[in-house]
Structures are given as C-alpha cells and as structure tokens.
Structure 1
Amino acid sequence: MKFGTKAIHAGQEPDPSTGAIMTPIYQTSTFVQASPGDHKGYEYARTQNPTRTALEANIAALEGAKFGRCFSSGMGATDAILKLFEPGDEIVSTNDLYGGTYRMFTKIYAKYGIKFRFVDMKDLDAVKSAVNENTKLVWVETPTNPMMSIVDIEAIVDIAKSVNAKTVVDNTFASPYLQNPIALGADIVMHSVTKYISGHSDVVMGFVGTSDPTIDEQIGFMQNSAGAVPGPQDCFLVLRGIKTLHVRMDRHCDNGEKIAHYLRDHDKVKNVFWPGFSDHPNHDVAKKQMKKFGGMLSFALKDDSQDAAFRLLEKLRVFSLAESLGGVESLAGHPASMTHASIPREQRLEAGLTDSLIRLSVGIEDVDDLLRDLEEAIG
C-alpha cells in the first residue's frame, strides 16, 4: 500500500455499530465490563482508548513501525524514552538539537545520574569517539533544529550497534512522508505530532514508534504508568489531519525550495541553511535518506545582530511570529530568544546558531505572497 493510501486508511475501519467512515471520538473515561476481566480490550481510557488506538496504528504504519504509542506532547514522548535508562547510562546526542530536548536532558535527567554527551553528528569520527561501553542510546535529530544539519542515520546506527546501544531518531522535521528511520535501522522513531503530522496548529501531541516488541512493551508501560496520554478529541483531529499529510508536504517542500533560493540570492542575507542546496553539508546523505528536502529552513543576516532580526520579524505580515512549526500557515521565529533560549549562548554560537538567525516554517500559502512578505520585511 502506497503512502497516500495508508495516510487515509491505515489503522481505521468503519465504526462497527454505525458504519461511520471516520473513527468516532470515544469521549469516555471508562468502559463497562460484562464481568470482571471481560472488557474487550478496553477498561480505562488512560490505558487505552479506541480513538487513540486507531491513531497509533495509523502513524506506526506511515513510519513502517510495528508498534506505536501516542503521548500528550512531544516532550511527553521524549520523557517516556528517557525513562528506559538508569543512573550511570550515557546518551550521545547532536550538539544542535531542539532546545526543549536539551533542557530535559540537562536540567532533569542529568540530575538522576544519566550522562549526556553532545557532538557534531555530521562528523562520524566525533560520534565514534563519544560512544563507549556505557553508551546506551544515541539520540539523532535530522534535519536538526534549527541548523538543518543532516545526520547519516544508517552510519549512526552502525556506530551505536558497535557498543550495543540503541538509536532513536526525532523525525519531526522530515515527517514520515519524507523519511523513515526504522527502515534505515533505527530502533525508535519519535515525533512531535503537533507539527507536520497534525499540520493545523490545533493539537499538542507526541509519538513513539518501534518494531521491537520489548521496547514497545516498555514504552507502553511508561505511557500507562506515567499517564501522559492525549485525549480522544485530539486523536480525532490528528487522524483528520493525517489524511492530507502527503498533499501538504509536497506543497511545503515546493514553497520551501523557492524561498530558500530567493533568500540565498538576497544581498542582505549572509547564510541560508536548507538541505536541498548541493553545497549544504551532507546534502548527498539527505538525497539518500529523504524523499524531498522539507519546508524548514533558517537564515542569518549580514547584520548579525539580534536587533536586526527583531526588526525583520516585526515587519512580517503573512509569516506569523510564533513558536512551533509544520502547520499549514507560515511561521517565523528567532531561535536564540525563543525555541533555543535554554541553550547557553556560547554553546549556541559553537553550533552556528547566531543572534540574527531566523527559522522559517514555510506553509502552504501562495508562494508569491510569502516571497513578497519577505521582500518587504528584509527591505
């Protein structure tokens, strides 16, 4: 079954009682049992809910994973994965990952004896030097947020296996339409479903997928025990959003490509970070493991100051100044003061995240309007 067909049909069947083609919103906290233990698979909505079950099966199918679990946020999904590890374990991650993930690593789990190492994952030798017998997990983002760095998933998986470590890939920026980490050897794939998968800026949700039954059982235990589960209304909204994921992603990618080339040719722009450029670091890897290059990009101004970035952002009219990404509407943000403010400035600058860097989530509006908006804002 091809992706577009799976997006619409995977994990879903007409409602057996009414024939409704859309999965119903099972807005209930509990399920009646005919006798103790006779609950037809459902007993309490924190543990399972039919709307959530359909969504989990749908996203798992899109990712080529055998199992899937949804959480109340992307950070809830991240938290469940980290709960698999113990004091003394080490986790290696990229040095330009999402600020919220960095904050959870360093401000919460580091206190419980888990050690984190941050390296430039484009440099495979650096990753090899960072892993050791205590490494239990390699955490990958690709493309990274916000520098759009491309990490070779298959190569990282091989390095992780050399020390018996697992690999997880945060696939939020690519979406299942552009990239499938499980097929490339990753043990776990996770998403902020809030972003491209939902696609309409009206839901906050996370997802963890795997084809390893032991990992799924552990993640399911964390999901039920810690209780960071999404409600059925949110699950319904995501199921509806997914039906157009492939259509939306094609438009995001087309618009992103045009805007990336426009910005690169602008005399007030210093750098543009977008994986589709032939000279983008690891562009060949992106061509190998991604279907297209995505609708996310970042750019830095020649006037490399926060004030210059703020002036530009305040002039935008079609792009909205807001956190988040992946919705149908175009968003612009200033990572240094917004999504990545929790990362120390010195560390940000080492990764290339300068004070003037602006991140764009290119939506599906008419691209001419988006280009005109940027032209007027940059001046």
Structure 2
Amino acid sequence: MSKRDYYEVLGVSRTASSDELKKAYRRCAMKYHPDRNPDDATAEASFKECKEAYEVLSDDSRRRMYDQHGHAAFEHGMGGGGGGYSDDMGDIFGDIFGNIFGGGGGGRGPRRGADVGYVMELSLEDAVAGIEKRIEIPTLDSCAKCKGSGSADGKLHTCNTCHGRGQVRIQRGIFSMQQACPHCGGRGQSIENPCGDCHGQGRIEGSKSLQVKIPAGVDNGDRIRLSGEGEAGPAGSPPGDLYVEVRVREHEFFQRDGDDLHCDVPIRLGQAALGASIRVPTLGGDVELKVPAETQTGKVFRLRDKGVQSVRSRRPGDLYCRVVIETPVNLTNEQRELLQKLETSFTGEHASRHSPRSSTFMDGVKGFWDRMTSS
C-alpha cells in the first residue's frame, strides 16, 4: 500500500509554517499515542505515520527534498541523512522480489541479523536533561569457536538440494515461486561436521551490557539507533541494529505537551483577590510568578523558555501555570468570623460589583427560566 502524503497525514497545507506543523503533530500524536490507545494496532500505526511525517517536514532540507520528489526522495539512497528510510525500503523489496524471482536479493550480500528493540523508562527530569544509562540485553552473538561458520572444522560443502543457490523452486498449480532452501536455510552450503557450541547455527544465545547515551529533550516514542548492536547475522553475516525506545513516566506535578509543560498552582483566596508574588517550581529550579489582583481561578500564566529544550531544534518550550484557588479548611473561630464579615459585606445593591461572573450567570439562569415558562 502506497504511503499517504505527509501533509495530508498532519492535516496541513503545503505552505504550513513550522509552528503549524508542530501544532498539527501534537494534535495527531496526542490522539493516537499508544498510551491513550492500548492494544489498538490501528492507532499505533497512525501514531507512527504522524511521527514519520513530522520528522521529515520539520527538517527544512528534508522538506525541500520531499516537496520536489515526494516519498521517492528517501528511497534507494536518495536524501543523504535519510538512511533509515532507504534501509527499510531496501529490506522490504529485497525480501519480496528476491524470494519470488530467485534473485536472492541481487547484490545485497548476505542477509543481516535481526534488529533488536529495547524499551527504556525514564523520569521526566532525565528525559529533559539527558542521561547515560547502562542496559543489559539478550542477544544472539556470533559463535566464537567456529567464528560464525557453524562448522567445527571450518569446511562448508555445496548444498545438494539447491546446488549452492540457496533457494529452491516450488510449483503450485500454474504458479512457480522461489523460497529459501529448507536443507541449508538459504546459505547455499551445508555442514557435515557441525560446531559443538552452536550446533551448526553459527550463533549462540547470550547477553551484553551497553552504555546508552540519551540526548536531552527526548519524548515518548523517540528511538535511539545503535548500529550493529542487534543480533548477529547467520553464517557470519553483518549484525542487525539495536533500537532503544523511550517511555517517559508520568510526573507528579508537570504534564508535557511536546516541548511545553503544564502545571496547576494552588493559591489562597486572599492572594487571588489582593495579588501576590509566589514561588513556582520549574525543572530548572523555583521562579517567581506575580499574580495580579482579582485573578480568577483557571487563569493561565505563561513562563517563556521554562519548558523542555527540543531535541531537534534545541529551542526551549514554555511552562504554562494554571492557578487554582483553594477553599480554606480547618478554620479557627477568628477566621470564621472574619470570613463571615467579608461575606456579609458583599450583600446589598452593589453586590454584583464584586462578583461579575456570578451576576452574569444568575441573569442567564433567570432568562432561561423566563423563556421556558413563556413557551
């Protein structure tokens, strides 16, 4: 199935600005994120599609190439830094057309080892600041005794079933197709004296410890590729890659939206009414937030550059503080009397001056009931 146009995936025009692309990606990512759609393969595919589209269009050079050549810009080695795309497409075409027409992948050489995935959980602080962590992964390593050949004496013989081609032709009715030789596993060579350590497989199960450097600013779903750290390939062929996928744990105070952070800041009634200067936490330490007089609950204040520094653009996001007025509890008798006096002072003909939203609400309710009784 052909890929959808990247602009269509994000729902933006071809002249969309970088900010418009960023907002569109956030909407798409939040809608389809696997954490919000557990066990939903369709949503996961849509999330990956959005991520791929944004990674290309958010990069100016790659976007120019895409606008000029479309998806072909990242196939067959075009596109310079887009190696991930050409590698993946090459593997797909090699597997399909090589097996059908007997080409064995053409000049691609021996089949490489499998890629390995590893999920790394991080705190928000570590994801924002970057970190180096050592991980332990199970893997298939090349057998040291036979050096990956699978043969105890190093002697390999031409397979009698496929005659060294590595593939056999199977006739099914009017269809004829090629598949890997079941006798030699596609090697084209057979082993008469298998290695005792790997039993002729050329690989043995093992594990290895790796130091992984996570760059600052990573987010959920970001992947770090470690070339050649996957499983060893069969018959001494090149190893696959290791992909470390980042999962960021929920934070007790901050919620992340791309490069921006959001938080709720509780304030007292008096602070909201009279104004106050309060300290609010950021990932870089406490900062001062000035709350003007007569601030209403739900008011959002923006602290520029106090969010997350983007792993791609290196520009910091912002911190959005939403103030929430707390109802006082555990009052003393004196505090109760003071609040009662304050409440009493709000009554009378000028009470609406002090509670404009409440007055507007009550007027709306009265108008609603008047319309109901007159209909």
TM-score over 0.5 for the pair? no
Is the helix fraction higher in 1 or 2? 1
Tell me the TM-score normalized by structure 2.
0.21
The structure with more radius of gyration = 2
Tell me the TM-score normalized by structure 1.
0.21
